[in-house]
Structure 1
Amino acid sequence: MPLVIKTKCVSCKKCVRKCPVDAIDMVKGKALIVEDKCINCGKCIKICPVKAILRDRDIVKYQISADLDDVKDSLSKYKSKKAKKRLVKSQLRQIRLQQKVLRGKMKALKHLKL
């Protein structure tokens, strides 16, 4: 599922016109992909002149980078090394918990009877 980086979107509406299933709306002057309608064809990604729409593999890199920037911002608020280490450990605990949740969800979806 493509992702629109709102800060990059210039409201040209080229993606809206190119989408074959009308899965892109303009909200507050920025493109928004409607997940239920999107067929993941990638036409919006190719037409975007400012590369504001990311494909799946690029979303992972973008999200990791954004999350690390957030952690670095949080770390800059602490002065002691000990407090910074506690914050990093806390972040790691939260990520491990999220991993467990996702693994459980994936396992349940694989066994879901349709």
Structure 2
Amino acid sequence: MSRPQKHVFVCSQNRPANHPRGACTHKASNDVLQAFWQQLQQRDAYDTVSVTYSGCLGPCDQGANVLVYPEGILYGKVTKDDVNEIFDKHLLGDEPVERLRVAPEAW
């Protein structure tokens, strides 16, 4: 396997339901993660994209959070319906999805 050009981290932080910061898993981050893995498989993009689940990525109020490297772009309030657009525009097209970006000062 070659070194991927893009690395996607999907927050899979799980906290108790009453935790003051919340948790991305309560905002369907597992569905987002599964959608990324499904797109990765359907597109056979294993040589260019890597998808990894992660712990907390920062602004819990913006979850479900997705972080893309090497650019260091954080997407917030991502749903499984956004994954195809992120894949097409950003991961394969090198154009960030502006409507989902979290402001740099937020994290």
TM-score of the two chains, using structure 1 as the length reference: 0.27
TM-score of the two chains, using structure 2 as the length reference: 0.28
Bigger proportion of residues as strand = 2
Bigger proportion of residues as helix = 1
Largest Rg, 1 or 2 = 1
Structure number with greater CO (CA < 8 Å, separation at least 6) is: 2
